[in-house]
Amino acid sequence: MPEKVYIGPYRPQLVEPERFELLVEGDRIIDAKMELGYMHRGIEKLFTTRTYMQNLALAERICGICSGVHTLCYAQTVERLMGVDVPERARYLRCIYMELERLHSHYLWFGILAHSLHEHEIFAKIMGEREIIQDLFEYLTGNRINYAINTIGGVRRDITPEKAEKIRKVLKTLRSLSDYIMSLLDDNGVLTKKTKGVGVLPRDKAIEVGAVGPVLRASGVTSDVRKDDPYAAYDKLNFEVIVEKDGDLRAKSLVRARETYESMKIIEQALDNLPSGDIAAKPGEPKVGEEIGRTEAPRGELIYYIKSNGTNIPERVKVRTPSYANNFAILAMLRGEYLKNARAVIESIDPCFACTDRVVVVDARTGVRRIMNLK
């Protein structure tokens, strides 16, 4: 007789409030449902009540972990609407800030993964060592999490030679942290035992549910907006798109661990080749029309759509966040999984419900129920 198990919504085992309903037989999950909306704040409506400049702070607060990439994607879309040409130096600086953000986001994910696998020592070590990157952000931008670094037309704070030196120093320390994480994931690693074969998402299924970012790349699909549709200065920087074949939790961990090295490579290249010049161009007038922008957030592809009526307030802003696309992957992975692994599987996509919930109610009218109960 199958029984129902509920996870959440307000359980601090999950970082954010979300409710999962699992149908369990024995110790296996046979079906999973999810209820969203605990974090819905009506941001898309709020976007249409503020000016383009003021919306930067709002875009930043969609998500507190990948806050920078939200403002970047928003700013890039508005720049296209306004016909602003971003200075070369600002493009490189954007790459540096965004890759630093990817590093901090990936390390945070490893911390939370270790926590959900009850590896509290690893959790404490990773969370402790990743502090230096938050300190670096505070030093570079004036705040640890909501950096407010991007503006329409460029960035707001420059990287001086002393700051560049400090970044290089921090990267050296982070490299050893990445090495440590890689050692946990090698054939006899502590995390390997607990993650191998857990929450497998086969390649076909990953494409079918529309997964993005590291989740998709861990299932053997090469997809990265930085390569496919380069923005900022990514077309001039040399890096590799990391792909793993297995599709399980270990593959997802490996993708993220190896990506941290690529991010460091990007930052070092950008620092070496930093062109001189302005860090921001003056914003112009938005033309009447619509634009779409996309970036590769730490969690995957992030899309902004903005419709302008020529005034200084956007008429419509639509955001498609990576976690929203990946949520359906959770349901696919939970089916057939052991109940004890449920939490790790949910954490495996690096869910960011602050991102997701802003989207879900927009779709409510067309039938959220239908979408949530994937067959």
Partner 1 sequence: MDKISVYRFLSAGCNACDVEVLECLAPRYGLASLGVEVVEEPEKANVLILTGAGTVKGREALLEVYEKINPPKIVIAVGNCSITKNIFDKGYPIIGPLNKLIPVNYYIPGCPPRPQAIIKAVADILGVKIEEREEWWQTPEGFRGRHEIDREKCIGCGACAQICTADAIEVIDGPEKRIIKVNYVHCTFCAFCQDECPTKALKLTGAYHLLTNDLQKARVENEVNLLTCAICGGTFFPEKQIDWALKRIVEEKAPIYRDFSSEILDAVKICTNCRRSVESIKKAKRLLTKLSEKARATVLRK
Check binding of 58 to partner 1 (CB under 8 A): yes
Of the two residues 157 and 236, which places its CB atom closer to partner 1 in the complex? 157
Burial class (CB in 10 A: 0-12, 13-18, 19+), 275: middle
Choose between 37 and 275: whose C-beta lies nearer to partner 1: 37
Of positions 2, 26, 64, 83, contacts partner 1 by CB under 8 A: 64
Query: How far apart are the C-alpha atoms of 306 and 370, rounded to whole Å?
Result: 27
Q: Residue 38's closest CA among 20, 56, 16?
A: 16
Q: Assess 148 for contact with partner 1 (CB under 8 A).
A: yes
* Residue window 347-366: x/- pattern of binding to partner 1, with contact defined by CB under 8 A: -----x-x--x---x-----
Residue 45 lies near partner 1 (rule: CB under 8 A):
yes
Q: CA-CA distance, 218 to 240, in Å (whole number)?
A: 14
> What three-state secondary structure class fits 166?
helix
C-alpha distances (whole Å) from 327 to each of 8, 222, 346 are 15, 20, 9
Residue 334 binds to partner 1 (criterion: CB under 8 A): no
For partner 1, the closer of residues 18 and 262 by Cβ is 18
Rule CB under 8 A: say whether 311 interacts with partner 1: no
DSSP for 93-136 reads HHHHHHHHHHHHHHHHHHHHHHHHTT-HHHHHHHHHHTHHHHHH
The Cβ of residue 90 has, within 10 Å, a number of other Cβ atoms equal to 24
Smallest distance from the beta carbon of 26 to partner 1, in angstroms?
25
What does the per-residue mask of binding to partner 1 show for 92-131, with x meaning CB under 8 A? ----------------x---------------x--xx--x
Residues that bind partner 1 (CB under 8 A): 9-13, 15-17, 37-43, 45-46, 49-50, 53-58, 60-65, 67, 108, 124, 127-128, 131, 134-135, 138-139, 141-146, 148, 156-157, 352, 354, 357, 361
